């Protein structure tokens, strides 16, 4: 473990807060962004933990994020809310819009929230998990930068376009998944590049459209979607519903806006919440219990629930802390020099 350094979660938080404050983020943004970085380390999602401090610092230095943006909530329809993040990080916009979304979902049965004009680098699972802990079924979608080629094509046009889902489980952690519609998250390829490791075939193609195991070549060429034309269709859907549908950029527009700065994606996010109590009335508890039989049927045959590993990590890191690569920590500490 000589190449790893142990940090408590409090130390992770302090590190995030110090770096983000030093780079000029307002206090409310420091808190909201640090929450997601701590959540990433806590759940051992290395690609969305303190590594992202390097990404934040770069994005801020490139002038691509509004440091003290105050998001504005617009109540636009009985079951729709939009939050204009005013060019700031998405986390604070979500935090301010979430109670409005939840209230609308409870009143109407289903509701949707569009986050607009925000800078995005975080995972979506903290958001759907939070809504599911409030008893709601939740979906989240966001485009990113045009890094991924459509099935049958060679040129990047989609983002890694994650889809996340949360389902409330009485007495248990929510059922949550969050996956990129690219074969892997871009952060995974970036970590391979940093560590000089080859990537498996199927993750990306080079600039000429040829399959490659070179992480740097795939980052310069195009990533591929998961699941062939089906993943490509889902990725298209996410471009549409978290782009034009909410009046925000596609991944191609986001990367054009970036203009080579290699900052975090700028654009929108769509979140949908459904209140099971409105669909089910007094039978909600009974039907949620039937969902538990499904989870038992999956886990009982040795198949993993997608959130399981994260929740196990969470239980462990609460007391043990986390082990982060020494080189990564040094790179982050150098941001403070």
Q: Is 136 in the site for a second copy (CB under 8 A)?
A: no
Separation of alpha carbons 248 and 240, rounded Å: 9
- Rounded (5°) CA angle 205-209-212: 30
Q: What is the largest CA-CA distance in the chain?
A: 59
Q: Is 159 in the site for a second copy (CB under 8 A)?
A: no
Nearest-approach distance from CB 144 to a second copy, in angstroms: 14
Q: Is 247 in the site for a second copy (CB under 8 A)?
A: yes
Q: Is 170 in the site for a second copy (CB under 8 A)?
A: no
Structure tokens, 316:
């462990």
Q: Is 293 in the site for a second copy (CB under 8 A)?
A: yes
Nearest-approach distance from CB 133 to a second copy, in angstroms: 16
Beta-strand pair 162-167/222-224: unpaired
- Judge whether 218 and 205 are in contact, CB under 8 Å: yes
Q: In this chain, which of 6, 197, 287, 327 binds a second copy, going by CB under 8 A?
A: 287
Q: Is 21 a catalytic residue?
A: no
Residue 42: count of CB within 10 angstroms of its CB: 21
- Rounded (5°) CA angle 274-238-295: 50
Q: Is 179 in the site for a second copy (CB under 8 A)?
A: yes
Q: Is 283 in the site for a second copy (CB under 8 A)?
A: yes
Q: In what order do the strands lie in the sheet with 162-167?
A: 72-77, 80-84, 110-119, 266-274, 137-141, 162-167, 175-180
Nearest to 259 by CA among 154, 131, 160, 146: 146
Q: Is 160 in the site for a second copy (CB under 8 A)?
A: no
Residues 6 or more apart whose CB falls under 8 angstroms from that of 52 comprise: 37, 40, 121, 122
Q: In this chain, which of 5, 216, 274, 329 binds a second copy, going by CB under 8 A?
A: 274
Q: Is 272 in the site for a second copy (CB under 8 A)?
A: yes
- Judge whether 120 and 265 are in contact, CB under 8 Å: yes
Strand partners, 158: 148
* Residue spans of alpha helices (H) in 242-307: 251-258, 276-280, 284-299
Which of the stretches 41-49, 57-65, 211-219, 276-284 binds a second copy when contact is defined by CB under 8 A?
276-284
Say what the alpha-carbon torsion angle 62, 60, 126, 161 is, to the nearest 10 degrees.
Answer: -10
Q: Is 80 in the site for a second copy (CB under 8 A)?
A: yes
Q: Is 188 a catalytic residue?
A: yes
Helix (H) or strand (E) holding 82: strand 80-84
Residues 6 or more apart whose CB falls under 8 angstroms from that of 320 comprise: none
Nearest-approach distance from CB 42 to a second copy, in angstroms: 21
Q: In this chain, which of 54, 62, 72, 110 binds a second copy, going by CB under 8 A?
A: 110
What's the burial of 3, exposed, middle or buried (CB within 10 Å: 0-12/13-18/19+)? exposed
Q: Is 303 in the site for a second copy (CB under 8 A)?
A: yes
Q: Is 329 in the site for a second copy (CB under 8 A)?
A: no
Q: Is 134 in the site for a second copy (CB under 8 A)?
A: no
Q: Is 72 in the site for a second copy (CB under 8 A)?
A: no
Q: Is 123 in the site for a second copy (CB under 8 A)?
A: no
By beta-carbon proximity to a second copy, the closer residue of 40 and 143 is: 143
Nearest-approach distance from CB 54 to a second copy, in angstroms: 27
Q: Is 140 in the site for a second copy (CB under 8 A)?
A: no
Q: Is 48 a catalytic residue?
A: yes
Residues 251-270 that bind a second copy (CB under 8 A): 252-253
By beta-carbon proximity to a second copy, the closer residue of 32 and 241 is: 241
HEC profile for 301-327?
Answer: CCCCCCCHHHHHHHHHHHHHCEEEEHH
| Residues that are catalytic | 47-48, 188
The residue ranges that bind a second copy (CB under 8 A) are 76-80, 82, 107-112, 114, 137, 149-155, 157, 165, 167, 175, 177, 179, 226-233, 236-237, 239-241, 243-247, 250, 252-253, 272, 274, 276, 278-281, 283, 287-288, 290-291, 293-294, 297-298, 301-304, 306
């Amino acid at each position: 473990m000589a190449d790893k350094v142990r940090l408590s979660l409090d130390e992770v938080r302090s590190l995030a807060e110090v770096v983000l404050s030093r780079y000029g983020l307002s206090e409310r943004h420091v808190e909201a962004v640090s929450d997601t970085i701590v959540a990433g380390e806590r759940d051992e999602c290395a690609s969305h933990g303190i590594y992202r401090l390097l990404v934040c610092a770069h994005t801020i230095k490139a002038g691509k994020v509004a440091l003290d943006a105050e998001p504005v909530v617009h109540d636009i329809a009985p079951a729709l809310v939009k939050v204009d993040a005013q060019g700031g990080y998405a986390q604070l916009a979500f935090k301010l819009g979430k109670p409005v979304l939840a209230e609308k979902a409870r009143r109407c049965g289903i509701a949707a929230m569009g986050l607009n004009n925000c800078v995005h680098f975080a995972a979506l699972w903290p958001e759907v998990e939070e809504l599911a802990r409030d008893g709601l079924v939740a979906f989240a979608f966001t485009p990113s930068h045009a890094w991924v080629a459509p099935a049958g094509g060679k040129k990047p046009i989609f983002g890694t376009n994650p889809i996340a889902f949360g389902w409330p489980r009485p007495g248990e952690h929510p059922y949550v998944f969050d996956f990129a519609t690219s074969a892997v998250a871009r952060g995974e390829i970036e970590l391979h590049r940093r560590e000089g490791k080859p990537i498996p075939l199927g993750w990306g193609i080079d600039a000429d459209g040829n399959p490659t195991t070179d992480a740097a070549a795939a980052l310069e060429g195009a990533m591929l979607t998961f699941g062939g034309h089906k993943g490509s269709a889902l990725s298209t859907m996410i471009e549409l519903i978290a782009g034009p549908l909410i009046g925000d950029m596609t991944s191609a527009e986001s990367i054009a806006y970036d203009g080579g700065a290699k900052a975090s994606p700028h654009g929108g996010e769509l979140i949908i919440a459904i209140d099971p109590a409105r669909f089910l009335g007094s039978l909600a508890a009974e039907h949620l219990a039937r969902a538990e039989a499904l989870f038992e049927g999956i886990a009982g045959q040795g198949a993993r629930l997608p959130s399981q590993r994260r929740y196990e990590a969470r239980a462990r890191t609460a007391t043990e802390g986390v082990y982060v690569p020494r080189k990564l920590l040094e790179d982050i500490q150098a941001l403070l020099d």
